[in-house]
Structure formats: C-alpha cells, structure tokens
Structure 1
Amino acid sequence: MAADFASLGVKPWLVTSLGAMAIKRPTPIQAACIPEILKGKNCIGGSRTGSGKTVAFAVPILQMWAHDPFGVYALILTPTRELALQLAEQFTALGSPQNLKLCLVIGGVDMRTQAIALAQKPHVIIATPGRLADHIRSSGEDTIAGLRRVRFVVLDEADRLLEEGFAEELMECLSVVPDQFGDPKKGRPARQTLLFTATVTESVRALKAGEGRTREKGGREVFVSEIDTDSLAVPPTLHQTYLFKPSTVHLAFLHTLLSTPLNVKKSTIIFTNKKFTAQLLSHTLKPLGHRVTPLHSDLSQRERTDSLGRFRAGAARILIATDVAGRGLDIPEVELVINFDVPRDPDDYIHRIGRTARAGKKGESITFVDEKDVLLVKAIEERVGREMVEYVEEEGVSLEGRVVREELKKVSEMKRVAMLNIEEGRDEKGRKKAGKRRLDPVESGERKRIK
C-alpha cells in the first residue's frame, strides 16, 4: 500500500487539504482507485463502510478539475439527503483552497433557490436523483444546461441507485449528461463514470461485463477494485445477538434493555422498517426518560439535519431511524445497534450493524425476533456467514422479570398516548405540529404520496 498520497500522484495542495482533515495515509481503496481515475479510467470501487470511498473519488476529481476549472465539472448522485450533505461537507473541505463552487440539490429545500444555483454553473453538483429529476422536468434549459458538458458522473452507494426504485429518476438524470462514448467530431470526450459501493451486487458487476462493447464504441477502460466487500463486511469485533420475544412486548423489552446498567450510557441506534414505527418509538421512549431523536423521511430537511447533529454531538444518546441512516453516514462512536424490526434484505442488516464496531473498535448488535422472523434471520446468518447468539442478560438483571413486574403497564400507557399524539399530528412533547407538508419523491427507492 502507498505510504502517502503524494506517491499516488496527488498534488501538494490536496495533500495539504487532506492533512487538515487528519487524513495522512491512503486506505487500500484510495490507494487502488486514485491513480487509475487520474489515468482517465472509469472505476467501480467496492469497499466496506468507513473505508474512505469518498476521498477515493473526490481527490482525483478535484485534482483534474483544478487543472481545467470550467463549468459544471462533476455530478455526484447519492440515494439520501444525509449522504448528500455529508459528501458536500467533504468536497467543500477538500476544495476550499481552490475556491470550489458546490451546489447541493436535495429534497426539503426550496426548488427556486436550487434552480438559481444550478443556472450559475457550479463546479460540482451533489444531488439525490428524485430532486434532480424534478429540476430536469420542470426548471427549464437554462437551469440544467451546465449538466450537458460534465466530465465526471459518480454514483455513490451505486448498488442502491441501481435498484428498480431509482430506475426512472436515474435514467432521467443520466439523459442530460454526456454519454459514455463521447462525440469526437464535436470535441466532446466520453464522460468518466465512477461507481462506489459497500456491496458489489450483480447489477454493479453487469456494468463491468459490458466493458468490451463499450471499448469498441470508443468508451473508457473500466478499473474494478473490490476490497473487503463480502465476508469481511461484518467486523470480527462486532458481537451479534438476538432477543426472541413475542412482538406484543418488544417495546417494553426495548425500554427495559435501554435502562440496564450496561446499556444506559451507550450511544445507540435503533433501526425500524417503517417510518410510523420510528415515530411511535420516539414518542414512547422520550417520555420514559430516554434521550432520543428520530431520523426518517417524513421529517423536514431541517429536522433531519438537526436530529443527526444532536446525535453526533451527544445531546441525544439514542437515534431512532429507518434505513435512511443505514448506509454510508459517518457517525462515530456508536456502541450498540438494535434492530427493533428484522430487515427484509440481509444486505440492509449488514449496513445497519456496520454503524458500530468501526475502525477496529468493539460493538454489539441486538435483533428483536419473534416467530414470523425465523426465516429472515436464517437468510441473514447465511449471508453474513455467522450465526447470531442469544442475548445474555447482565448479572443480576432479569429483563423478563422487570418487564412483567414493573414496565409493561407503564410502557403500554405511554404507547397509547404516543399513538394518539401521532394521530393528532403532535410532536414528542405533545405540541401540535404544523399542517401536512408536501412530500418530495422519496430518495430511498420507494415513492411517497404527494398531497
């Protein structure tokens, strides 16, 4: 592996920017991909969460842009708003010495303001496919003209973007950028395409399989690097457990589990399959004394950003989230991940529990299971290559006894109040919330109702 970034051909100003971010030595995925991208190759980069994939594509893009800083140079597409915001932070930090102009195009933000920013031809556009497709359909040629000459297109979390739920919006976004073959007669080079993911799926590999036909038509060579994408996706320092109980008492057990001496101070993410469940847990656990904050796609963009900020800063100990928080987010120091619902897709399970045990640290996951989840758990264990073990109670702590004796009635009462508050449109403190807002097309692969 390369000893430093300079040996990869990275310019001194970028080495300095990386150093200011406390990034001194390249990770394996960075060492593999940066030189090949600088050579002009398309790239498929697969590496586990937390391995530095963003730097692997941001550094070569910014180096080549600084050499020829014209118009809209790069378009980066990513599935969620939170990932887009995180990418924007890193690009801004790396590109600040060269006065990089960046435009963020995500839902929950005024479209008119975004259209004005797009028309000013920023150097880098970071977008979710749904919102960018909205602009392509409705904001006019002046807004999207800069996209027609981009040099780089990046699909971050490519396996997710290539799923069926994103197909329509993704195709619309790619329809306005240069194709992968270019037009030599008009002096337009083929765009450079970069795909990065923690899970190299068959849809991602299919793009590599089509390389021969692409090269015949004048397209670029494809470089593929897969590092720790499969069997090592679950860190060996992560202890995976399950708690087998009837679903009717899962919430009472969750409250009791979070209150035990071993867990009461742990930074925790609780994952649910549905937005309503995340709302219900948040409304129920907060009055029970837990410092919780929610993260799901029914929140406004400001609420989502503030919620993530509170959790990162430690103002909230527990983040209750749907899979919008399952991928790519840089959330340090998570000690415990709880799957309140068993995910339907084993890969989603891997992404969820990957929020803990990062950078060689220890972590624990607990998955709530009942009779209907047995087949899902077996599929997860087969995918991971490791069996979950039954959760062992702390010495002197009986979860079952405490739930039956002390907590079941109290939690049931709080749950009833929570459901009333949700039905009446109130927040966790019982305050009436504003009327229904218009919902944007979802970035998570499904489509929300637009009222």
Structure 2
Amino acid sequence: MSNIASILNESEPAAKPAVEAGDAPAWNSTPTTIGFGSVGRMGSGAAAEPPKDADAAAAEPTKGDASAATNSKEDGPSATVPGSAAKIASGDIPVVINEEDMEGQIYSNAAWKDLGISDEIHRGLLSENYLRPSKIQARSLPLMLSDPPKNMVAQSQSGTGKTVAFLTATLSRVDFSKPEQPQALILAPTQELADQISRNIHSIGRFVKNLKVALAIPRKIARGENVNSCIVVGTPGTVLDLGRRKQLDCSQLKVLVLDEADNMLDLNGLGDQCLRVKLRIMPPDVIESVQVLLFSATFPPKVQQWIPRFAPNANTLTLKTKELTVRGISQMFVDCPNDDSRYDILCKLYGLMTIGQSVIFVRTRKSATEIQRRMTEDGHRVTVLHGDFDSTERLELLGQFRAGETKVLVTTNVLSRGIDVASVSMVINYDIPTKPGPQGDEPDAETYLHRIGRTGRFGRIGVSISFVFDQRSFDHLNAITTHFGIDLVKLPTNDWDEAEELVKQVIKKNSAQASYVPKVDDRQTEADDSKPEPAEAASQSTTSTKKEDDKPADVGW
C-alpha cells in the first residue's frame, strides 16, 4: 500500500473530495442485514438449517443499508435517459436516477440515436443485434460523451452491458484520421478479457473507416515493434513494458479505460501496475487531460480510497449493495455430508450441466485438474482451464467452450469474470470463494457475485449452486447471503428426482430465451496472468444530482 501511495503522492495533487461534509459518503458499502431463512433456505429470516455436522450459526445483526435514495420520480423515457450529451455539457439537465430503476427490465426506454453516437457506430451496434441500449448504456453514454470530457465511475450488475457502454464511448472519442496514433487505451485484468474486448471493438466498429486495434498481451507484440493503432487493448503489465521500451506512444491519449476496475485498482492485485501505466508512461499533460473510465460490478471499500486519485472529480453511477445480485439467477446450495461427498454430488448434477453449458469454479489449479481427471475417468466429458496453460492454449480452450464444442468447464477464478456464453445455464461453486484476511481466509462476496454472473447474462435465466460441507464453508456462504441480502434455496439431496426437476425447469427457461434475447454483453474476467489464482480477487453507493457543469454527478439507483 505504501508503494502505491508513494506513486500517487509524487505524481498527482490531492483530488477534491467527492462530497461535502455532512453528506453521505461517496462510497457506502454497509450491507443490508439478512440472516438465515426458514428451514430449506439460506437468506432472509431468523434461523436456517445448518450442515449436518454442526450447530446453527447465529447471524449477528448489523446496520442497514445506508445508501442514499433520491426523491425523484420517473416520468417516462426522459427519466430513464438523462438527456443528450449536449444538454449535459451545457449543464441544462440534472442527473437524478431512482435507485429502483435497475430492478426489473434491463433495457432502457431510449434509442441509440438519442445518445449522440455516429451513424457508423450505430450501424455496428445494430449489426451485432444491440437493438436498443440497456439502462447502464443509456445513463452512462451521455455523461461519457459530454464536452469537455469528464471521468466516469460506473457500476452495474454483471451482464447488463458495461462493455458495450465504454466501447461505444471510446469509439466516439477517437479521431480516425489518425489511425496509427494511439488515442485510447483499454486495460483488462487477463489476456482472455483483453482478447474479447478487442474482438468486440472490431464488431461494433466494423463500419468505422481507418479503425486499427492493437492487442497488447504477452508475446503478441514483438520487442522493438511500435504500436501503430488508434485503440490499444491489453493487460497492465504488457502495456507498462511497451511504454517503458518506448514502443507505445501515449502523448495523444484521449481515453483510458479500466474494465473490472475493482480488480485493476486492488492494492493486492494489479493496482500498482495500473497506477504506473497512468503516472509513469503518460506525459504530465496527458495525465491531466485524459478521460478515465472505470467500470465494474463491484467497488470494494479497499479500492474506493484510490478512485478519487485515479479518476478525480468523476461522474458516478452506483448501486446499493442489495441491488447487485442478478435477479434472473436462481441461487441454490447443497449441504454435502462431508468433503469427499462433494465429488459424488457433482457427478449426479452432470446430466443437468449438459442441458446447456456449465462452469464449475474451484479454488486452486490442482483441484481443477484433479476434478477434470476424475470426471473424465468416470465417463464424463469435461474441460479444464486455468493459469498453468499458456496464453495460446487458454484462448483456444475458451474458444472451444464458446463454440459449444465442450459443455462443462472446470476453472479457477482466472475466469470468474471472463466467460460470456449465452448458453451457460449453470454455475457451480464447488469451493465457496474466499480471500485472505487477518484471521485467515474470509468469505469473498465480490468474487461470488462475479462467478454467478457467468450465467443469467442480460436478462436470461440461470442457476448457481454452491456446495457447503462443514461449518466453515457454511458460515462463509451465510456471510455472503447476508452481505447481499439474498435467499438461497436448499437443493434436496435425499430426492434427486425432485432436485433435478427443480433445476431443469429453470435451465429450460434459459434455453428458450437464448435464441432471441438481444446480446448486450459485459465480458469480464479476473486475475492478471501474473497473479496466483488461490488469492481470489477481491464493493458501494450514494445518490445525488448533477448541480453544476464543473462538478461530478453522483448517481445511485
């Protein structure tokens, strides 16, 4: 932490506080208190059935959600769409969004033509079946396209269209008369995500003349080869190396995007590299002028302290903690008799996994390899993907999964934010996600959220099933349900016919939707290629209005 603080202090002046004294804090992550539910459920209520070998855990009450709410009311399309970029730039319109707007439908009432984008980008969006903007797109684009440009911190659930939002803004900022001059830099935590973003840019920008995109990941750009593309997408370590070796010219950068910004600014993760990219390889005038866009589903407290320094005076779109989970995902848990029984129950679920496609998350690479080996020996077709594979193998395996060549993928947190496949109908948490804490491993609510977000993409229906087998795993999952205020349905292990029917009904709903739901994707992954996977990645809000053009807009919903 001291290293990052020293980089910041020597390179940038202190940023203006996001709120005045007496206001609600700009980032408030106090969770709504929801204890264990009735027997058979984990969630809201008084007490739940504990694991078979342990007593019931008592949920200690905490303070309720302190996120502020607006008093505005929605009056139709104009309330859903804050207005054109021109109106916001001139300060004619206050940005006030009801915190309940994100409930229910993901789409906004806006049209792309209302958001100030070019005809070429509009055609590209339509060609990719993005027929109308989602709410996060409709609300963030006018702010990102304002003149003069302003920084943006945007939070929205997994699968709601964050990637398309910042890519549309990025394409709108670039001067394509200079196709070989780097003007936009997009940083992603993994090679897989960087590759996906690069593909998305080409798809959305297919009608844009002179579009050139460089992919800056390990072994992609040769030493001594200059980056001659107007948009650069890459991982922080590789981009930093290119800048240090003078292969990447940052003198005319207009936009800097951090996808999965919570992971990218994590002091225990990629934060040091990201800060060095901004503060060490960009000229001072670019540091002052570059528009910074930070996008993520979560912004944990340990990351929030650095946001004002990395993206000063940013407009913000935030969510209350209890609004973060995806409503289309049926979240369940299985109480396994012991550790060894988890594998047997996993195999019993195999038939359900292959109705659509499924992802099994485990804690370590060794566990992933072992589960894949055992399931293959037992006659099940399963693929494994983790950080021990080189970049070519990882992209190839992920491509096979996307193409439907394999149905079940066993992986670690390297892909907890990285898989965007329409037919993924089930996510299994074989290991409850944890992170290092002062007293040992502690529950990782943010990683849980990103893991289950691999299903239920953009309004579809999905299933997540978490395995508990002892008091510790039970307590970890309980803490996560309490943090988000969610209910988990207990799958009956004594009647697999009933359990299968329950899950099958949900999966079939997902399969029925997959062919016609417009695809506004938010492609995400976790952990840089340089990070060990067992250290799972590490979440939130206020509401106010945009009063003056030179002040940031803090928006909660």
Q: Into which bin does the TM-score normalised by the smaller protein fall?
A: 0.7 to 0.9
Question: Residue deviations 1:191-221, cap 9 Å, x none?
Answer: 1111001113335543565699x5xxxxxx5
* Aligned residue among 254, 277, 280 for 1:173: 277
Q: 1:251 to 1:239 in 2, by over 3 A?
A: same
Distance in 1 between residues matched to 2:396 and 2:450, nearest whole Å: 23
Distance in 2 between residues matched to 1:59 and 1:178, nearest whole Å: 23
Deviates more, 1:337-346 or 1:286-295: 286-295
Where does residue 252 of structure 1 map in the other structure?
344
1:235–1:358 CA contact under 8 A, matched in 2: no
Q: Is it true that 1:101 corresponds to 2:212 in the alignment?
A: yes
Where does residue 160 of structure 1 map in the other structure?
263
Where does residue 8 of structure 1 map in the other structure?
115
Where does residue 91 of structure 1 map in the other structure?
201
Question: Residue deviations 1:283-314, cap 9 Å, x none?
Answer: 22123222211121111112211211222222
Cα drift, residue 328 of structure 1: 4.9
Where does residue 463 of structure 2 map in the other structure?
364
- TM-score calculated relative to the size of structure 2: 0.64
Cα drift, residue 320 of structure 1: 0.7
Indicate the SS of the match to 1:233.
coil
Distance in 1 between residues matched to 2:211 and 2:310, nearest whole Å: 32
Where does residue 191 of structure 1 map in the other structure?
290
* Aligned residue among 386, 402, 414 for 2:486: 386
Q: 1:35 to 1:348 in 2, by over 3 A?
A: same
Code of the residue aligned with 1:326 in structure 2: it is S
Q: Is it true that 1:82 corresponds to 2:174 in the alignment?
A: no
1:199–1:230 CA contact under 8 A, matched in 2: no
Cα drift, residue 388 of structure 1: 2.4
Q: Which has more helix, going by share of residues?
A: 1
* Aligned residue among 315, 320, 323 for 1:223: 315
Question: Residue deviations 1:390-423, cap 9 Å, x none?
Answer: 2124856599xxxxxxxxxxxxxxxxxxxxxxxx
Indicate the SS of the match to 1:365.
strand
Question: Residue deviations 1:350-401, cap 9 Å, x none?
Answer: 11111122333332222121213122112111122124232124856599xx
1:128–1:443 CA contact under 8 A, matched in 2: no
Question: Residue deviations 1:52-96, cap 9 Å, x none?
Answer: 111211112212213663610011111111111110011112223
Q: Is it true that 1:42 corresponds to 2:141 in the alignment?
A: no
Q: Which runs of 5+ in 1 are unaligned?
A: 215-220, 400-438
Q: 1:270 to 1:66 in 2, by over 3 A?
A: same
Distance in 1 between residues matched to 2:196 and 2:365, nearest whole Å: 22
Distance in 2 between residues matched to 1:316 and 1:307, nearest whole Å: 9
Higher relative contact order (CA 8 A, sep 6+): 2
* Aligned residue among 327, 336, 355 for 1:235: 327
| Matched positions, count | 386
Q: 1:445 to 1:293 in 2, by over 3 A?
A: closer
* Aligned residue among 304, 308, 319 for 2:398: 308
Identity %: 30
Code of the residue aligned with 2:357 in structure 1: it is S
1:268–1:334 CA contact under 8 A, matched in 2: yes
Code of the residue aligned with 1:173 in structure 2: it is V
Where does residue 151 of structure 1 map in the other structure?
254
2:194–2:233 CA contact under 8 A, matched in 1: yes
Distance in 2 between residues matched to 1:156 and 1:445, nearest whole Å: 21
Distance in 2 between residues matched to 1:159 and 1:194, nearest whole Å: 12
1:241–1:364 CA contact under 8 A, matched in 2: no
Where does residue 402 of structure 1 map in the other structure?
none
Code of the residue aligned with 1:174 in structure 2: it is K
Distance in 2 between residues matched to 1:305 and 1:228, nearest whole Å: 35
Distance in 2 between residues matched to 1:227 and 1:328, nearest whole Å: 22
Q: 1:27 to 1:370 in 2, by over 3 A?
A: same
Q: 1:283 to 1:133 in 2, by over 3 A?
A: farther
2:176–2:211 CA contact under 8 A, matched in 1: no
RMSD: 2.9
* Aligned residue among 476, 490, 505 for 1:376: 476
Distance in 2 between residues matched to 1:125 and 1:350, nearest whole Å: 29
Indicate the SS of the match to 1:304.
helix
Q: 1:57 to 1:177 in 2, by over 3 A?
A: farther
Code of the residue aligned with 1:270 in structure 2: it is I
Cα drift, residue 317 of structure 1: 0.9
Where does residue 433 of structure 1 map in the other structure?
none
Cα drift, residue 29 of structure 1: 1.0
Distance in 1 between residues matched to 2:346 and 2:338, nearest whole Å: 12
Indicate the SS of the match to 1:17.
helix
